[in-house]
Amino acid sequence: MAQSATRIRTGRAPGAPHPIGQPLAALWSMRWVAVALGIVGWFVYYPILNNFLVSTTQQDIFTGEVTQVGLENYRRLASDPVVATAMWNNTAYALLSILFQVFGAFWLAAIIEGLQSDRWRAIWRAVYFIPSAISTTVTGLLFYFIYQPQIGILDGLMTGMGLGHLSRVWLGDSTTAIYAIIAMSQWQGFGYSTLLFSVAIQKIPQELFDAARMDGAGPLRQIWAITLPMTREMTGMMIIVTVTGAFQVFNEVMVMTAGGPNNSSQVLGTWLFEQGFNQNDMGYAAAIGSLVFGVTMLCGVAQLWYTRRRRVEA
């Protein structure tokens, strides 16, 4: 592999030197990546760098007035109670998603992959995945209706099970709103991670399980001693991806509560939107953006570190 890589260092046949010469040829080969560099640089990197500049200003999108305020927006960020709520909500999102979409999905995948019928394994994987293919706008609206007291089915179900006294206006109650949204998100997302775990489990050599069985290990012991350690990489990656996702969450909160009631279900994304696009406080919104950047960067670095360590181990 490495040998052939060094053999093809240049994309040019040995017998056909480029007419313009080597340095120019190298520059000319940049054409392959120029479009990507341009569009990613312009629309991904540049705005994110720019976000830091905007975060030190106070500006009005209507009058276009811009004042330099230094770190004022960040000071506000540190003392804003809604930012604290949002941070907690994002954290709760991350923790519950790890519980259901990483550990729960692992067990579900282990159960499915232990089935004998190829067909049923494929069916369960596909059925559980369906909600992940649908947009969060649709699932968010759907659960908005499900949680409604008059038309929703949740309260009806709870009454049917004799739990009617526990029911409430799930999205209108500041103690339950964010958890109702998180619950929807687990419903939507668990099939996606189950599918990924299934694929990881399928890659484990069957001989390992056979050998364990010879030694008299039962199914739970096999999952514990073989499946779990053999999918550790996937688990690690999934935790990082899940946490990153949890700090970028926006759609479902926007669609279901828009952060209400009383900002109790705000997350960083929706609070950024509220400040920047409803209150027109772009400077402060950019500061919230920097906070999101900080958290996702940490996750990104963790991911890089994790992948690199894995490669070294392998």
Partner 1 sequence: MTMTMALPSRSRPFWPAMLRGMLWAFLFAMGVLVLYPLLWMALGGFKSNSQIFSDPFALPASWSLENYLAGWRATRGYMLSSLLVTLVSTLTTVMISAWTAFGLTRTAIPGKPLVVGFILGGMMLSPTVALVPLVRMLQDLGIYDSHAALILLYTAFRVPFTTFLIRAYMLDLPRDLDEAAMMDGASPGQIFRKVILPLCQPILISCVVLHILFAWNEYLFAMIFTNSPGVQTLPVGLTSMMSKQGTNFAAVFAAMTISALPIVIIFFLTQRYFIRGLTQGIGK
- Interface residues for partner 1 in 260-299 (CB under 8 A)? 268-269, 272-273, 276-277, 282, 285-286, 289-290, 292-293, 296-297
Q: Which stretch binds partner 1 (CB under 8 A): 42-50, 93-101, 165-173, 175-183?
A: 42-50
d(CA 290, CA 80): 15
Site for partner 1 in 220-239 (CB under 8 A): 222, 234, 237-238
Three-state DSSP at 10 gives coil
Total residues in contact with partner 1, by rule CB under 8 A:
109
Cβ closest to partner 1, residue 80 vs residue 175: 80
Handedness of CA 203, 313, 227, 213 (dihedral sign): positive
Site for partner 1 in 55-84 (CB under 8 A): 61
d(CA 59, CA 287): 12
d(CA 185, CA 54): 32
Cβ closest to partner 1, residue 44 vs residue 175: 44
Cβ closest to partner 1, residue 106 vs residue 124: 124
Site for partner 1 in 10-39 (CB under 8 A): 10-13, 15-16, 26-27, 29-33, 35-37, 39
d(CA 86, CA 266): 5
| Contact call for residue 219 and partner 1 (CB under 8 A) | yes
What are the residues facing 66 on neighbouring strands? 59
Site for partner 1 in 84-143 (CB under 8 A): 108, 111-112, 114-116, 118, 121-122, 124, 126-131, 133-138, 141-143
Site for partner 1 in 156-195 (CB under 8 A): 156, 187, 191-192, 195
Closest approach, Cβ 19 to partner 1, in A, equals 12
d(CA 239, CA 232): 11
Q: Which stretch binds partner 1 (CB under 8 A): 69-77, 81-89, 165-173, 212-220?
A: 212-220
Cβ closest to partner 1, residue 32 vs residue 175: 32
User: 181 exposed, middle or buried (CB, 10 Å; 0-12, 13-18, 19+)?
Assistant: buried
d(CA 219, CA 224): 9
Cβ closest to partner 1, residue 30 vs residue 175: 30
Cβ closest to partner 1, residue 16 vs residue 175: 16
Binding residue for partner 1, selected from 17, 20, 24, 45, defined by CB under 8 A: 45
d(CA 198, CA 188): 17
Instruction: Let me know: does 108 contact 128? Beta carbons within 8 Å.
Output: yes
d(CA 51, CA 47): 6
